[in-house]
Amino acid sequence: MKMKKMILRYYFKDYSHLTFSKKSRNSFNVGYKSLKRCISVKTLTTITKMKRRKIYFYSALILTISIIALLVTGSTLLTLALYNDKSIPLGTFITWTGMISLPLTIYWGLKELRKPSNKLNRILSGFIKTIIIFGILWVPISYLLAGNFSFTFSEKETFQGGQAAMRWFWRLSYGIGIGALLTLIVFWISLLFKKKKTVANNE
């Protein structure tokens, strides 16, 4: 009923003097119910999107923190062999998950990186998306460089599995982590400049 009054006030300002026929009242009621249904659906959709975003963000954050803890502590899970020949350690896939979850945490945690509103944030958004793609491709690229899923290199003269390939492997690995953190740092710095500019304009 309150919503009806608000709608009437908006369109008619003062509706106390108005009289409606039965047909008009029925038409208004149908329109009101349709409007109410649309608002409810839109609100529900918005809430669902917010919940979904939070699930993505917290899932990525928990994965990132857990994997960093495993890597820092040198957990035995990292060297656990998935096959009898020990050619594929579990650490490969744990690290791969971290390579993807770290930039995704930043992406889902900052709305401006998903829906940028200015030129700088559009650049940062494109950069973090590129980092995510490199994170997804980390295992395939690393396998091409090393020639094995343990990602071990030797002194061989050929490129694959050699020292030159090893340098590219570390550039890729460190680049994903540093690139993701650099995106976050630049975004925070831009917020500080924006805040200072707003304060200066208010003064």
Count CB atoms within 10 A of the CB of residue 90.
16
pTM flag (> 0.85): no
Q: Output 144 or 9, whichever has higher pLDDT.
A: 144
Q: What is the mean pLDDT of residues 149-166?
A: 92
pLDDT tens-digit profile of 104-138? 999 999 999 999 999 999 999 999 999 999 999 99
Q: What is the mean pLDDT of residues 152-176?
A: 93
Q: Output 6 or 152, whichever has higher pLDDT.
A: 152
Q: Model confidence at 8, in pLDDT bands (50, 70, 90)?
A: very low
What was the pLDDT predicted at 4?
Answer: 47
User: In the chain, where are the structural domains located?
Assistant: 46-202
Answer whether 98's CB lies under 8 Å from 78's CB.
no
- pLDDT of 17 strictly over 90: no
Report how far apart the first and last C-alpha atoms of the chain are (Å, whole number): 45
What is the separation of C-alpha 92 from the centre of its chain, rounded to a whole number of angstroms? 23
What was the pLDDT predicted at 63?
Answer: 96
Q: Model confidence at 193, in pLDDT bands (50, 70, 90)?
A: confident
What was the pLDDT predicted at 13?
Answer: 45
- pLDDT of 16 strictly over 50: no
- Which of left, alpha, beta for 142 (phi over 0: left; psi -120 to 50: alpha)? alpha
What was the pLDDT predicted at 19?
Answer: 52
